[in-house]
Structure 1
């Protein structure tokens, strides 16, 4: 606070006569930030310019620059003596540099000399370390070779304990006693002690296999460490020959022992042999021995091939009975081995006897003995064999002890190759042509063909509809459907419905347009006359010839559409969902929606069919309605009194509709809802046409009456006669309206007899108001 009461003191004596320097800076200018290492002039200025004008900022910075220059001058003036003497102290600088360079060069030479000695010592040390590493590696290789030599010697010693001639093994004529005599002391001792010779041999083979596995480990490591030049040493070459001989003897002995165990179904021997094969990673040999020794003989009997003679084999390409016999042989001859190989925690899961022994032999036998079984050219036989094969695969998969074994079986090359033999794509193509071609043939006929069984009104009537339903059912029949192609059969189902819908829609459109050549297949709708289109119901004497009258079958079409929709939405849908019950709920929902949408495409066709009937009935009724024009001629320029009864044409207006509804086909094929829909639609459309004709007639009559009245008045004025001649007479227009009024009353009564409430129809109310007397305009009664 004291600084605010006193002015600032001069900083030096030189300030007394100089310009005053103002140290006060605005608050927004902080000179201390200029010395900050992270100071950024551009960002600093851009920040200040947001609230400080540029001129003010420039002025303040220039003022600060002047203050800094002034401060620099003050510093020089304050220490001027030292500043002047600074240059006088820099004397003989070059000499000082020369004196300092000599010791520096000497130090550099010493450092280089020391570095050279260190590098030589380091190179010598690295050389000794490399020699040591090589010696260690050579020692490891030597130890590895010695271990290999000991293992080979051990294997050869163990092999000597086995029979040395093939005649000692199963299949020879030497009995078990002779085998014991030619065996060495250990085998003979075991035989004398009552130990099973095969089991002892299998145990010994398993031990040898374990040592061979160890030997393979040594060989693999020796190939890594051993230089190529050393691999040709006599010791190593001799070792390789000994290993090869030992491996060959082991494979031969193990194969004979395994065959012996299989023939005698000795579980212990088989178990030991399988462990030996697994130890040497030679599972293929065991699978091949089992296939050729056990599987191939009975497969050859079931499915003979090559030059073999059929022994109880089935004829033809049918595989169902063959698979049953194969299953029985598997239960009798193979199950014991499958159970041994699936023993828990035995390590025998590496074997795949199901695929590489059984399925491989079955596939080979079918390809050689019954190649026609895979041919889709005969769809029925192909499907039967395919399903039998899937059942056989399920049987094989049932022997898998775990999910991993099940997955492994399906990933085996033999399994994949077996499935590739069945060309389901070609099979579906043939079925598609068969099913779709059947429907297409039925729809390309020029007439609608009714079924011979017309008495059963609950069944389909038209052969085209029956063909559609048969095709739809064929898509999901047991003797047609392949579950692997279920998506294709679902698409075929939808295509069949679309084909039928398009066929029916095209026929109705062609008839409405009156163009017989509009589309191919619409001849059934365009070839019939209007009478045939509506009235097969009264011509009972020609009812037997109904097949030739395509237009007479619109009612059966509605009936068939109803039955098709009901069938697809009920039993058909349940059957399809039952076949696909193994699928997920999402898939089943999609299938259900697809089938329901397909049935909707049939359901929407009912309205166009009904509209076609309505249009035909209206056209027949309008023929009688056109007689309304004769009313004008009846009362125009005549002295006929007011009419008291309706015109004769009224009775014929609704006659086509009445006869149609009372006919046999309508009673048989139309439901109550459809009858009501057709009745109301036809009555409304006839009434609308009635109103148009009557309205035009009354309008023309009134215009004519007005014109005639003007002519009469003009003539009377010219003649000077009185104008009250016919004031009390009834005009012709009134008579016409009265006649129309009587007619529409009768028309309303006829509608009521058919069950139609005329008062609820807007067209009838308009017709009433058009012709009714003024006092009865608001009250409709007849």
Structure 2
């Protein structure tokens, strides 16, 4: 009996883990079946986020699974696979039969492709010819339009009067002349339109055509047709400029608002605003300003020699209100399209600046500070008056951005004026800065303080004035500290309020900048106080160290002597803090030092003196120990040679111990003296080091005195 078919064996891993053919989410076997699959791109893309070893392992696993699948397929259809070769009969003949129609099909396809390529070339050539024809037609139309515009402009120009006098009587009614052939109707005649207004309308129309002509020329550059017409275009442009200028001048003289408006529109159309601004300056502004601010022969005849500008500006303002206001209102009218003009800057301000430069150049000179300041303020007031004619903020910004405005402001050399005025006001103060004598003047703390600070700076270097620095005493610096605080308080107090009151008419930003500058100056003075304190402390420490050096005599007192163990402090200790106490109890310190400053100087000096005390004591003890060690080795050598015991003096106190004991008594007295001044010696790091250096072993951990 056959064995029953047993189920395939499966391990626990196969039951409780992923199937053998499971793959990570990033590995997609279906990608290999895509027609456009590229192995290099596939691997490069996966390597950006999959390690190479992991990718290689997964590919090997997939290859292994494919091999198993292939083997399974072969085993499943093995009989068909074996019989495959027996079924392939007369394969070569079949291939020949199939190849013939395929070759024929390929030839037909190649013939069709050649026909298509030829048609495509023909179509492209046709499209190119069509594009060229369209471009040529466009150019031809542009040339025709240019010719028509030139002819039209010439025709319109012929309608203009040949000489300016033809419209000098511009108020004559059109009924006295024939109607113009440019489109002026009899209705206009009936309305009583003036010849000047008619001419201005004609000029505006010509300018509009010239603007269109300029556009055509810009798009048809370097064409022979345009080059041949260049003389005609230039001639028309010159006639237009001259006629437009004459009409504009005539309109200004007769205050014909309509004519002026049309002329300005004509200038704007041909983008020639500078010409209109210059005409207004030379014909209207210059003659009047010449009367107010004469120069050349006119100045000599008028006898003008005063460089003050206030009266001149007042007359100029009156002239602007009476003779320029009408034009400024026309050019700034809303929706007029005439905002491209800036008669304020390029006509009025330009002429005023030129007249001042020629007639009163001394007005810009800061050599006379009072007159300069008066003229400068008057000029700012005049600029503010001009800005009053600006209809908007953007117009003000445009006015200030003009080159003539910047040129006008450059004439006022504020830096030189400030230097001269500063020298005038602070000349005495500047001379004091160069003095290094010690003439203390309590009644004049400002000048004395600056002189002392100058000497203080020199003290830290070398050069002239160091003689005072070397001879100065701490009491001198008390006055310096007092003066620094006094002037700082004055600068940041009443002086600042006085300056801000003088500048009360300025903007908030200006006031804030001035205030911050003054406060910064006062703070810079206050920043000098620590440096002066350091100078006082340094001087007091130097005086105290002179008495501290007496502790070197302790070595001579106990070295190689039989003196007993010391029981009281040395005499020098009482003198160490005497300079500091005398300084703090002095008349100047009592009168001028605040409690805060006294505490800073006291603690700083005590710390500095203690640091020196620690250094000298540590050096003394170190030297004593080295000397005693050397002497001990010499004694032991002599005793060994004599056959004596080497521990004769082991139980006696050494000279170094006596020296340390004396120093210990001294620093206790020193700490008591510090305590009397208000300083706890235990809080000074160098005193704790000093205690550790000389205190007996049983007293090392507790500081008491």
Structure 2 vs 1, CA of residues 89 and 430 (structure 1 numbering), >3 Å: closer, same or farther? farther
1:33 to 22, 35, 47: 22
- Give the deviation of 1:107 after TM superposition: 1.7
Q: For residues 180 and 356 of structure 1, what CA distance do their matches in structure 2 show?
A: 39
- Give the deviation of 1:274 after TM superposition: 1.2
- Secondary structure of the residue aligned to 1:163 is coil
1:121-136 matches, cutoff 5 A: 121-136=119-134
Q: Report the equivalent of 1:87.
A: 85
Q: For residues 9 and 501 of structure 1, what CA distance do their matches in structure 2 show?
A: 118
Checking the alignment, whether the CA contact within 8 Å between 1:205 and 1:276 is kept in structure 2 is yes
Structure 2 vs 1, CA of residues 675 and 220 (structure 1 numbering), >3 Å: closer, same or farther? closer
Is residue 206 from structure 1 mapped to residue 195 from structure 2 by the alignment? Answer: no
Q: Report the equivalent of 1:335.
A: 325
Checking the alignment, whether the CA contact within 8 Å between 1:360 and 1:414 is kept in structure 2 is yes
Structure 2 vs 1, CA of residues 29 and 182 (structure 1 numbering), >3 Å: closer, same or farther? closer
1:158-197 matches, cutoff 5 A: 158-170=156-168, 194-197=192-195
TM-score, structure 1 as length reference: 0.56
Q: Report the equivalent of 1:482.
A: none
Q: For residues 164 and 153 of structure 1, what CA distance do their matches in structure 2 show?
A: 18
Checking the alignment, whether the CA contact within 8 Å between 1:302 and 1:313 is kept in structure 2 is no
- Give the deviation of 1:286 after TM superposition: 0.6
Deviation per CA, 1:358-400, whole angstroms, max 9, x where unpaired?
A: 2222333344444454455665555554444333332322221
2:224 to 232, 253, 278: 232
Checking the alignment, whether the CA contact within 8 Å between 2:432 and 2:451 is kept in structure 1 is no
- Secondary structure of the residue aligned to 2:333 is coil
Q: For residues 163 and 329 of structure 1, what CA distance do their matches in structure 2 show?
A: 33
Is residue 572 from structure 1 mapped to residue 495 from structure 2 by the alignment? Answer: yes
- Secondary structure of the residue aligned to 1:348 is coil
- Give the deviation of 1:405 after TM superposition: 1.0
Is residue 345 from structure 1 mapped to residue 335 from structure 2 by the alignment? Answer: yes
- Secondary structure of the residue aligned to 2:110 is helix
Checking the alignment, whether the CA contact within 8 Å between 1:302 and 1:314 is kept in structure 2 is no
Structure 2 vs 1, CA of residues 89 and 350 (structure 1 numbering), >3 Å: closer, same or farther? same
- Give the deviation of 1:324 after TM superposition: 3.5
1:582 to 492, 497, 508: 508
Structure 2 vs 1, CA of residues 90 and 285 (structure 1 numbering), >3 Å: closer, same or farther? same
Q: For residues 86 and 251 of structure 2, what CA distance do their matches in structure 1 show?
A: 115
Checking the alignment, whether the CA contact within 8 Å between 1:581 and 1:588 is kept in structure 2 is no
- Give the deviation of 1:338 after TM superposition: 1.4
2:5 to 9, 14, 24: 9
Checking the alignment, whether the CA contact within 8 Å between 1:202 and 1:257 is kept in structure 2 is yes
- Give the deviation of 1:424 after TM superposition: 4.2
TM-score, structure 2 as length reference: 0.61
Is residue 600 from structure 1 mapped to residue 596 from structure 2 by the alignment? Answer: no
Deviation per CA, 1:673-694, whole angstroms, max 9, x where unpaired?
A: 879999xx99xx9xxxxxxxxx
Q: For residues 124 and 315 of structure 2, what CA distance do their matches in structure 1 show?
A: 76
Checking the alignment, whether the CA contact within 8 Å between 2:456 and 2:469 is kept in structure 1 is no
Structure 2 vs 1, CA of residues 602 and 387 (structure 1 numbering), >3 Å: closer, same or farther? farther
Checking the alignment, whether the CA contact within 8 Å between 2:150 and 2:213 is kept in structure 1 is yes
Q: Report the equivalent of 2:284.
A: 294
Q: Report the equivalent of 1:472.
A: none
- Give the deviation of 1:351 after TM superposition: 0.4
Checking the alignment, whether the CA contact within 8 Å between 1:163 and 1:183 is kept in structure 2 is no
Deviation per CA, 1:580-606, whole angstroms, max 9, x where unpaired?
A: 753178746743641441453577799
Larger Rg: 1
Checking the alignment, whether the CA contact within 8 Å between 2:200 and 2:247 is kept in structure 1 is yes
> Greater CA deviation, 34-43 or 591-600?
34-43
Checking the alignment, whether the CA contact within 8 Å between 1:158 and 1:208 is kept in structure 2 is yes
Q: For residues 375 and 598 of structure 1, what CA distance do their matches in structure 2 show?
A: 34
How many residues align structurally? 546
- Secondary structure of the residue aligned to 1:122 is helix
Is residue 461 from structure 1 mapped to residue 448 from structure 2 by the alignment? Answer: no
> Greater CA deviation, 74-83 or 210-219?
74-83
- Secondary structure of the residue aligned to 2:161 is coil
Q: For residues 413 and 674 of structure 1, what CA distance do their matches in structure 2 show?
A: 58
Structure 2 vs 1, CA of residues 414 and 198 (structure 1 numbering), >3 Å: closer, same or farther? same
Q: Report the equivalent of 1:415.
A: 405
- Secondary structure of the residue aligned to 1:350 is coil
- Secondary structure of the residue aligned to 1:201 is helix
Q: For residues 611 and 324 of structure 1, what CA distance do their matches in structure 2 show?
A: 65
Structure 2 vs 1, CA of residues 195 and 450 (structure 1 numbering), >3 Å: closer, same or farther? farther
- Give the deviation of 1:165 after TM superposition: 1.8
Checking the alignment, whether the CA contact within 8 Å between 1:439 and 1:467 is kept in structure 2 is yes
1:86-485 matches, cutoff 5 A: 86-170=84-168, 194-223=192-221, 228=222, 231-233=223-225, 239-306=229-296, 308-310=298-300, 312=302, 314-315=304-305, 317-375=307-365, 382-427=372-417, 438-445=428-435, 447=437, 461-462=443-444, 465=445, 467=447
Q: Report the equivalent of 2:688.
A: none
- Give the deviation of 1:133 after TM superposition: 3.4
Checking the alignment, whether the CA contact within 8 Å between 1:443 and 1:521 is kept in structure 2 is no
- Secondary structure of the residue aligned to 1:32 is coil
- Secondary structure of the residue aligned to 1:211 is helix
Checking the alignment, whether the CA contact within 8 Å between 1:258 and 1:273 is kept in structure 2 is yes
Deviation per CA, 1:246-295, whole angstroms, max 9, x where unpaired?
A: 33222222111110111222222222211221122211111111111112
Checking the alignment, whether the CA contact within 8 Å between 2:489 and 2:522 is kept in structure 1 is no
Q: CA RMSD in A?
A: 5.6
Checking the alignment, whether the CA contact within 8 Å between 2:203 and 2:263 is kept in structure 1 is yes
Q: For residues 425 and 469 of structure 2, what CA distance do their matches in structure 1 show?
A: 25
Q: For residues 66 and 327 of structure 2, what CA distance do their matches in structure 1 show?
A: 107
